[in-house]
């Protein structure tokens, strides 16, 4: 947006753009980000543990002589992977409104007015409240179908007053 006012404040960040100037993220890009986030979390949390469990023979032990001590290292690796994944995700969401996949795909979550969405808003309203609502039968499908609205907002976007835009 150009202006002839020499005293106008120059926009220094994409967060400073009014919502009407922001380009909404594509539906396919949002779906791909959701899928990639799951793959990334799986690799960070489960892959190291399953690899160690396979190498140490956890899966080949007879049931009647199962050594529970062999699960210590794989469970520890799961916990460490989860902590690393959660830490990275929290940092990215707090700083940029992006998960790892959203960062790669260059999309981000902002408030519907274009301002930066807080970590609390994204965590509590987009994730926790939405997770609790998933106990309602068919809620997950209905939430996902809302992406086909004009503003491409799912129910959890509406609850949190957020939109997903190109970064």
Residue-wise pLDDT tens digits, 126-148: 999 999 999 999 999 999 999 99
**Every domain of the chain and the residues it spans:** 22-166
d(CA 86, CA 22): 28
d(CA 165, CA 6): 29
d(CA 1, CA 3): 7
Residue-wise pLDDT tens digits, 15-63: 556 667 899 999 999 999 999 999 999 999 999 999 999 998 888 888 8
Residues 6+ apart with CB under 8 A from 100: 36, 37, 40, 88, 89, 92
| pLDDT > 80? residue 11 | no
d(CA 16, CA 89): 23
Question: For residue 102, with 0-12 CB atoms within 10 Å meaning exposed, 13-18 middle and 19 or more buried, which class applies?
Answer: buried
Q: How far is CA 7 from CA 16, 17, 48, 97, in A?
A: 17, 18, 56, 30
């Amino acid at each position: 947006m150009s202006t002839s006012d020499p005293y106008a404040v120059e926009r220094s960040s994409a967060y400073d753009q009014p919502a009407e100037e922001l380009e909404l993220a594509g539906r396919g890009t949002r779906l791909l980000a959701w899928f990639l986030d799951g793959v990334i979390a799986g690799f960070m949390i489960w892959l190291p543990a399953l690899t160690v469990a396979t190498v140490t023979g956890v899966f080949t032990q007879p049931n009647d002589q199962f050594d529970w001590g062999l699960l210590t290292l794989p469970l520890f690796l799961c916990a460490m992977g989860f902590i690393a994944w959660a830490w990275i995700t929290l940092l990215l969401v707090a700083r940029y409104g992006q998960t790892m996949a959203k960062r790669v795909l260059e999309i981000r979550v902002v408030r519907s007015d274009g301002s930066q969405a807080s970590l609390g808003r994204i965590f509590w309203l987009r994730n926790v409240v939405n997770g609790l609502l998933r106990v309602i039968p068919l809620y997950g499908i209905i939430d996902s179908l809302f992406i086909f609205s004009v503003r491409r907002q799912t129910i959890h976007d509406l609850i949190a007053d957020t939109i997903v835009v190109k970064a």
